[in-house]
Amino acid sequence: MEVRVANVRKEFDRFPALHDVSLDIRSGELIALLGPSGSGKTTLLRLIAGLERPTRGKIFFGEEDASLKSIQERNVGFVFQHYALFRHMTVADNIGFGLKVRPGATRPPAEEIRRRASELLDFVQLSGLEKRYPAQLSGGQRQRVALARAMAIEPAVLLLDEPFGALDAQVRRELRRWLRDIHDTTGHTTIFVTHDQEEALELADRVVVMSQGRIEQVGTADEVYDTPNSPFVYGFIGDSSSLPARVEDGQVWLAERPIGLSAPDVPAGAATLFFRPHDVELLDGCGGCIAGTVVNSRRVAETRRVELEVGGDRQRVEIELPIDHAAANKSRIAFRPRKWKLFPRAD
Ligand SMILES: Nc1ncnc2c1ncn2[C@@H]1O[C@H](COP(=O)(O)OP(=O)(O)OP(=O)(O)O)[C@@H](O)[C@H]1O
Ligand SMILES: [Mg+2]
């Protein structure tokens, strides 16, 4: 099922949680909503589910305007981070719940519901646990039961709000791979919320980066990492360093000199220079480059993270050096970013 969010605004007591959000999700896509706390991810998911109504704008499921339809009419399955299983019900009854509460004519017979619950348990690799109660399962098992329950109704769209948020890193990684496999098998259109960028980049076909109630960028993992379209996305996805700069005569300047990067297509004026700390070239001398004094250095896995003070106004910037680089305190280091991007800045 395709989902189209068209110019949606959502206010809570006049507070705009979403501004003017538009998003096209293709049928069968696995989409991640990624952003810091409070950016509007859950709100957008709840609007798609039908748990909230837009203040303005519309939501389409396929060609149909679903904005005023209920959760049941939209036929969505969802798993929320704190949406616990029913504690007094067995695993099988939890999974069958969505089918059991259907109105008479559409409700499958009890035997069929049992069979379906059992199939789904196999599918989420928990065969034989039908009779257990949620309290007798591990956290990861519970999340898998919750997912089986969401899938039992054969949803048009599967919505997951930080489904693995409460689990430890190891279990999260396993479930992540497992969710990708499940998605590839079932082909459900799936939208999941996370604030873990590794999870989003690894799992999703496309990532929707959100900030302050707005969508900043939509793209594949490669697109949002390699060609971020705003300072926010550059800073949020992956490691980044930035320095205040300016453009003059088609050259990038830091303080009072050019640093050997030409920017012929960028208008003259103030800008912020962004680059990845690992993507720098070390230089011996400094005719045109960035030079700084080491103020801090620490080992991170196989590289050395070095903090430099750059220029007269002592801007701090981080770069990554090979582990065998001494990077002694107060020593001078000259470098130039290999890949970089400038964003104009109001002075
Ligand atoms: N029912 C509500 N009433 C009032 N304000 C709300 C309500 N729900 C959300 N908000 C506000 O809307 C904004 C977006 O909230 P939302 O829950 O969508 O963020 P989020 O991106 O899911 O954050 P988190 O990562 O912390 O879950 C926040 O400022 C929040 O306080
Ligand atoms: Mg949330």
Burial 246-261 (b: 16+ CB within 10 A, else e): bbeeebbbbeeebbeb
Ligand with minimal distance to 12 CA: 1
Q: Are 102 and 183 in contact (CB under 8 A)?
A: no
Residue 163 pLDDT grade (very low, low, confident, very high; cuts 50, 70, 90)? confident
pLDDT at 182 over 90: no
Set out the domains of the chain in order of their start, with CATH numbers: 3-235 (3.40.50.300), 240-344 (2.40.50.140)
Nearest ligand (C-alpha, residue 34): 1
User: What is the rounded average pLDDT for all residues in the chain?
Assistant: 92
- 211 CB within 6 A, ligand 1: no
Rg (CA), the chain: 25
Alpha carbons 170 and 255: distance in angstroms, whole number: 46
| Residue 25 Cα distances to 60, 197, 331, angstroms | 10, 19, 51
**How far, in Å, from the CA of 161 to the mean position of ligand 2?**
7
- Phi, psi of 314, deg, nearest 5: 50, 50
Closest residue to atom 8 of ligand 1, CA basis: 43
Asked whether residue 82 carries a pLDDT value surpassing 90, the answer given is: no
| Cα four-point dihedral sign 59, 64, 68, 69 | negative
Cβ atoms of residues 270 and 261 within 8 Å? no
pLDDT at 83: 61
- Here the tokens at position 192 are 């999941």
Return the SS3 of 116: helix
Q: Which atom of ligand 1 is nearest to the CA of 12?
A: 4
- Per-residue CA distances from 224 to 106, 235, 299 (Å): 43, 11, 27
E-strand stretches of 51-110: 56-61, 64-65, 76-80
194 lines ligand 1 (CB under 6 A): no
Closest-CA residue, ligand 1 atom 16, reads 40
CA distance 31 to 8: 18
Distance (angstroms) between ligand 2 centre and the Cα of 245 equals: 36
Query: How high is the pLDDT of residue 174?
Result: 84
Could you tell me the distance, in angstroms and rounded to a whole number, from the CA of residue 93 to the centre of ligand 2? Answer: 28
pLDDT in tens, 230-268: 999 999 999 999 999 999 989 999 988 899 999 988 889
Q: Are 252 and 261 in contact (CB under 8 A)?
A: yes
Strands 15-25 and 3-12: antiparallel
Atom of ligand 1 nearest to the CA of 36: 25
Concatenate the DSSP letters of all residues of 28-52 into one string: T-EEEEE-STTSSHHHHHHHHHTSS
Cβ atoms of residues 280 and 308 within 8 Å: no
Residue to probe by mutation, ligand 1, list 42, 48, 160, 210, most atoms within 8 Å of CB: 42
Which carries the bigger pLDDT value, residue 117 or residue 347? 117
C-alpha 87 to ligand 1 mean position (Å): 27
